[in-house]
Chains A and B, each alone.
Chain A
């Protein structure tokens, strides 16, 4: 079972409300889900869609065919009607759209009239639509009733009416779709739903983040909202800065004062933060920056997706600024990498960048649980009595590792001094060449190899001796993994997925083998766990594959460029998508098909 529901309509019509309640119903019933949004840069009007895919197996990517389309506006059926699968149906309200379709696949459901006739207002048409979908699928309406009780907690007077309206909508959906032959398999358990941006916020809080300053910018704003919504409970200051320049400088100020701090933005805002990134490098001030990519150049496509800031994030900053660069593709990867970023930025006093994109930021996944024990917290700062017990303190002391003690100003009678100018060990500005050389070596040559030792190799999923190796990074994890699932058994295919991008992992390291999910027997059969042995270093693996295809959402092949620069390996085959849209599973399979 693998079904997709798409809600199409204008901005402001409640697409998100319907999508979120259905997602909650599916996840609370124990199904696996993946949802993503396709929207225009406007608050009202236009045409947007929200697609939820739910299945009894793990799903991680958008698919093209849809089983149910909720058409809230007149554009939905002309635009998405042809996306319906063989068993698919659309529902629409002919009274509302002023149009009737003579196609048995398109079912007229009077959303507004059902709401009115059940004692509700027309706004509750959205509840009717959600309930009708459940009726068509044969899923019990009581699950939606629970979701309504929770989401309407702040408007208790509307709960009873909404439930009445839901029941009527459910009954209508159940009895008016003769074509509906969905076989929703029973499921048990209860899963949670998490959005990509929320996973970053949660991981930041779990890593001890105490300060978040930002300027709103799509698609990073979800992190900002999550942090602000949880600021009071977790004792976090969340500040809306006057611009991104202020945001990064405030974040560095908070970090200098002794707390873990993060900022987040998208490409244009990151451009304004670049001077501050260089400042973090020079003053060795820990900071985590989230760069949620959207298509550029300039304002580009503000609400859509691209992976075209990889090399920018890697080289941004005047001077040679060391950095750590991670790109999670799932919430679980974000938990690990955001936590690792907070740890490493403080341990080595080198800025850390989390690179995501709109697909990752706005997508949601169902997950079983969050193991809070996975979050590491080591306080590397010198504070309190440890700081007081020192005879002498120099903020940029030359040590063997290149890492100087990071003290909290005010905790001891020593002063903590740092400078954006080149400085001596005590932090005072200097011009002399010998100090300059030692400082450059300390900041870059000493620390970077140490950080590199902490970097993990990419993940290998699929066949142990692949004829076709799909190589990619960040948010393409899900679609690449599903492509391997789809092709397994027919062809020897594997995926090599990178999340820890810089310092680039040691090429001699074997990749981490990811086992096949339950039910993926064909993947399991050809994979390492079954065939025994350990994989070679990941560079050798790329070299030994008949074909290694680099898959990216950009035009120039930025990751391919990084791989060539770091390893000398040149991808002969590349799949690049730069229309601002995410790869769908079918879309990627079609592109891969050319190489099979």
Chain B
């Protein structure tokens, strides 16, 4: 099996031209660069077009419920902190249905890599607004346009002190692949918000729309300056920066849990001997 074949999975059921294809190419590229094997990581996904992602590559997979990627990923990491865990979610999936889990995963700093397929629309349910849809965007269920303000995920993440925050564009697979590699090498919770045009349901944020706006952060940009990072995260208009916006190297949740000092739980044999001490306490 050639290196590239082993990361090929089921035939994708995405629309031709879907922005997700760029994410799939970048992921395979990242895996080749990291030289991992498909059984050496676990992918968790939710529901939406992003939820199908793990099936279209090849790796251990738990494709769970809408919005619930991060709790499942957290449970996996706590049971086996020797295993890299990546969560693939959509903008509606992660920022809408699973918004609470997202906030708390960042607080915990669980060592999970979260890749959000952000197309600013609900694709699977055929074109309703998502939390990142631009204010005013008209859809079949928002005929008067989206009334709420659009969520800025990278700004929220920096405000939450998320350990690694990046923004990428799926058509730039080289940059995305290198951000993915950097995220996998980073110790801590990582958010990579990936713009990926929905060719069927988002007629506003098209390939052209993104192409006209995205630009790479300067090479001298310092992602360790939180205030600067926050300022750059707010740039979301005519110009939108991509790259690693913010890095805060701090202890992961797994490193702080006393029971996890040592081998992962999954590798430890069942040792009932110490139960006698617990029973004695009941007298």
Contact = CB atoms under 8 A, between A and B. Distances in A.
B65 A249 contact: yes
Given A206-B272, A249-B68, A372-B276, A414 B39 contact: yes
Contacts of A256: 62, 72, 75-76
Interface residues of B, number: 56
A253 B268 contact: no
A28 B280 CA distance: 12
B63 A249 contact: no
Interface string B68-92: 1011111111111011000000000
Interface stretch (B219-227, B242-250, B257-265): B257-265
B252 interface: no
Contact of A419 (B58, B63, B77, B266): B63
A418 B68 contact: no
Contacts of B54: 417
Given A235-B268, A370-B279, A413-B37, A250 B61 contact: no
B141 interface: no
Given A206-B272, A250-B72, A410 B78 contact: no
A416 B60 contact: yes
Chain A: number of interface residues, binned into ranges? 35 or more
A410 B63 contact: no
Contacts of B78: 211, 237, 239, 250, 253-254
Interface in A8-32: 27-28
Interface string A408-424: 11101111111111000
Contacts of B73: 253
Given A250-B74, A377-B272, A233 B277 contact: yes
A279 B58 contact: no
Contacts of A194: 282
Contacts of A469: none
B79 A210 contact: yes
A419 B80 CA distance: 20
A246 interface: yes
Contacts of A248: 71
Contacts, number: 192
Contact of A429 (B55, B72, B277): B55
A427 to B, nearest CB: 7
Contacts of A279: 64-65, 68
Interface string A193-208: 1100010001001101
B25 interface: no
B75 A409 contact: no
B79 A254 contact: yes
Contacts of B198: none
Interface in B72-114: 72-80, 82-83, 100-101, 103-104
B59 to A, nearest CB: 6
Contacts of B70: 246
A232 B39 contact: no
Contacts of B259: 231-232, 235-237
Contact of B59 (A251, A258, A377, A415): A415
A499 to B, nearest CB: 22
Given A206-B275, A409-B39, A413-B37, A237 B63 contact: no
A202 B272 CA distance: 11
A237 B79 contact: yes
A428 interface: yes
B71 A410 contact: no
A553 B255 CA distance: 46
Tell me which of B37, B268, B270, B271 has the highest count of chain A C-beta atoms within 10 A of its own C-beta.
B270
A149 B47 CA distance: 57
27 contacts: A194-B282, A202-B278, A205-B278, A206-B275, A210-B265, A231-B258, A232-B258, A233-B278, A235-B271, A236-B259, A237-B257, A237-B260, A242-B103, A246-B100, A249-B64, A249-B65, A249-B71, A250-B74, A253-B77, A255-B79, A259-B80, A275-B65, A283-B62, A410-B39, A414-B39, A415-B61, A419-B61
